[in-house]
Structure 1
Amino acid sequence: MQLDDKAIVQRVKEMVLPIVSKMGYKLFDVEFKPERGWVLRIIVDKEGGITVGDCEEISKRISALLDVEDIIPVSYMLEVSSPGLTRELTKAEHFSFFKGRLVRVVLREPIQNRRELIGRIEDVKDDVLVLKDKGTEELLHIPLSIIARANLEIEKW
């Protein structure tokens, strides 16, 4: 059976976003992929972080909706989780949400002869990340299109 996993992800996002938002959480991402069977992963976040209890409550509400709507034609495991402390940032809205936080960025093309940068997210506008370099305090303008990977850094207190 050929699955249109992108269409399933889009439909799940549309269905889940109002529920998650009403509960006070941010829908960080939705994944649907084979991992020893199919896994539908709903990744949520909120200021201050997510607890196991949060994930359980969200899972109950989403599971009931998915059972009623029956949009996934194969058996799957539903997983609700937090993106984690060193979460990957892949979209402009991810960078915006974490404005002011420390991030490690790996680039496809070097900027100032560097492919890896650590700095604070100052802003994101027109698909350009403005990063305050940790070492030089210089503001760097990085097109999102040249970012190979970006993850939050754990800040020591």
Structure 2
Amino acid sequence: MTHPLIPEITALANPIAEKLNFEIANIVFQTNKNPSLLRIDIRNRGGDTSLDDCEQMSRLLEEALEMKDIIPEAYALEISSPGVADVLTTDREFISFQGFPVTVQTHTPHKKKTQFEGTLRSRDEDFVYLNCKGRIVKIPRELVEQVTLCSASE
């Protein structure tokens, strides 16, 4: 269940992230810790997310949170990078993970299926290409809901 303050925190954090050319990947507020932990994962839209990026976001967001006084109790703010995303979205990720096992989920059936598992070959403007058991499968991009890396344990 999402903490009720998340929408307000998101509304405050998003413009700061946009200004810095970051995107908010995830926000979690854990009140079961002492002090509570507000963890925000960011991605630098221009490349890899650095420690300096996290520090910059932390400094600006901390000031904004203090000014608005959204969180009444003591809390710790943690800004970090989500690391390698499980869901591939950028051209850079599709290039980096060619040859890796992925699951492609479609929002409408393609060849009577909505889920395809295979090795990522490539992606162009029209299709996502998978190697499924030695056969190349072309999935139209307009049908693709998401492309997810398969974990090493699968």
Using the size of structure 2 for normalisation, the TM-score is: 0.65
CA distance in 1, matches of 2:32, 2:124: 36
SS of residue matched to 1:53: helix
The 1:34/1:139 distance shift into structure 2, 3 A limit, reads: farther
Q: What are the equivalent positions in structure 2 for 1:85-104 lying under 5 Å apart? A: 85=84, 87-89=85-87, 95=89, 98-99=90-91, 101=94, 102=97, 104=102
Residue 131 of structure 1 is matched in structure 2 by: 128
Residue 15 of structure 1 is matched in structure 2 by: 12
What's the RMSD between the two structures over aligned residues? 3.7
- Identical aligned pairs, as a percentage? 20
Structure 2 unaligned residues grouped into runs of 5+: 106-111
The 1:133/1:56 distance shift into structure 2, 3 A limit, reads: same
Shift >6 Å, 4+ stretches: none
CA distance in 1, matches of 2:150, 2:56: 26
8 Å contact from structure 1 (residues 99, 123) kept in 2: no
8 Å contact from structure 1 (residues 132, 140) kept in 2: yes
Shift of 1:44: 1.1
CA distance in 2, matches of 1:20, 1:56: 12
Shift of 1:143: 5.8
CA distance in 2, matches of 1:152, 1:60: 35
CA distance in 1, matches of 2:130, 2:73: 46
Structure possessing the higher radius of gyration over alpha carbons? 2
Shift of 1:24: 1.8
8 Å contact from structure 2 (residues 26, 40) kept in 1: yes
Match of 1:44 among 42, 45, 48: 42
Residue 108 of structure 2 is matched in structure 1 by: none
